[in-house]
Homo-oligomer: A and B are copies of this chain.
Amino acid sequence: MSVEFFKGIGKIPFEGPASKNSLAFRFYDANRKVMGKTLQDHLRPAVAYWHAFASPGADMFGPGTFERPWFDPAGDPIKMAELKMDAAFEFFVKLGVPFFCFHDRDIAPEGNTLAESNGYVDRMSERAMKKMEETGVKLLWGTANLFSHPRYMSGASTNPDPAVFAYAAAQVKHCLEVTQRMGGGSYVLWGGREGYDTLLNTDLKREYDQMGRFMNLVVEHKHKIGFKGQILIEPKPCEPTKHQYDFDTANVLAFLQKYGLQHEIKVNLEANHATLAGHSFQHEVAFAVANGILGSIDMNRGDVMLGWDTDQFPNDVGEITLIMLELLRGGGFTTGGFNFDAKIRRQSIDPADLFHAHIGGMDTMARGLINAAAIIEDGTLQKFVDERYAGWNAGLGADVLARKESLESLAKRVKDENINPKPRSGRQEYLENLINRFV
């Protein structure tokens, strides 16, 4: 039997908006129904194993500050991994979160050979599956860490050395199969070092072709083993590389189309990656929805005054309301969900801080979703937009979209019909006020 790590903290209750209990939910009532579905089924929240349990609280200017027993440098790596897993599941259960996500290297140590590493992953994943069965916690998605080990310093699939490509392929094969065994809803690829630090030593065309080949291999293997989950690419513009090929959703979409993958792979978006790419989080979600490739979301927030991935927990109800609006418009998640790719601050060294962070994040998402549903049910916003574009549903607009017009015919119409359009107010401030009625 495992030792309790989060002592003094029990199951986090839902206590409603008036609660002053900092260890209770105020909005996340898992079973509350909104637009016909429970909050839990809408949000499908997941804890990220890496930030919550594998990260020691280090930054580029100092080592870890989190004193967790499983970081004992003198400890046996497998024992430490087990201790960490015990604490993780204790946390999942106490928090009442239905999902978690992991990298292969989060749950198991690196071995001397890939075979040895794979063995560790197998062993730890079996342990995890037992705990999943006991607790009901599920796997949202799995992923292979193809960026930490020095062998990947110049990329995985885009490495100038094909031996690294092969190694990465073998590692992904194993992790994909483990994810399948664990019932993961998706499999994610984040190309952390699929990019460049300098164009001087880089053959861009070759590297894209390598990456195109790699992604096709993954998709082929998925079909071969019958994995029903969704393959996802996670866009990020940079960091650790100067430029990452999966810069933003549109960059990924260009890549997918070029290599014939647009019906096979979707995106796993992240708030902080959106803003690093110069987009609002809302933009990336709306763009992915508009192109039918929204798969899952890594929920966090960045500090827009800072130029790196701060991975903070979401706390801006106004912003999250807009995200939920786009999500609901897109039909919501199927295999995806909201994974907290968010870390507590380096100064948040107490185990309780992990709870505060996740409770705040889940409450923020719940409020956002409730707000968004209210906006949709109210209907004023959608009505405004529909009326704004109404001209495209018939007459001239419909003719254009139905390919009945040419530049020539349109020029003729402009002349014959004296077309001289008058601008109409975009009503941005009115709409912003409208949204604030629900926030």
Contact = CB atoms under 8 A, between A and B. Distances in A.
A384 to B, nearest CB: 7
A238 to B, nearest CB: 6
Interface residues of A, number: 157
A264 interface: no
Contacts of A396: 162-163, 165-166
8 contacts: A65-B150, A154-B426, A161-B391, A200-B432, A204-B290, A217-B410, A224-B408, A318-B318
Nearest to A313: B429
Contacts of A435: 200, 315
Interface string A208-225: 111001000110110010
Interface stretch (A6-14, A29-37, A277-285): A277-285
B201 A315 contact: no
A115 B414 CA distance: 9
Contacts of A164: 421
Nearest to A415: B115
Given A22-B434, A164-B421, A429-B344, A243 B173 contact: no
Contact of A251 (B60, B62, B114, B250): B250
A357 interface: yes
Interface stretch (A85-93, A94-102, A347-355): A347-355
Interface in A53-112: 59-65
Contact of A154 (B173, B224, B381, B423): B423
A363 B439 CA distance: 13
A130 interface: no
The winner among A149, A198, A304, A437 for most chain B CB atoms within 10 A is A198
B425 A347 contact: yes
Contact of A411 (B174, B289, B290, B357): B174
Given A62-B149, A220-B406, A423-B153, A432 B315 contact: yes
Contacts of A204: 286-287, 289-290
A181 interface: no
B388 A151 contact: no
A426 B197 contact: yes
A131 interface: no
Contacts of A363: 433, 436
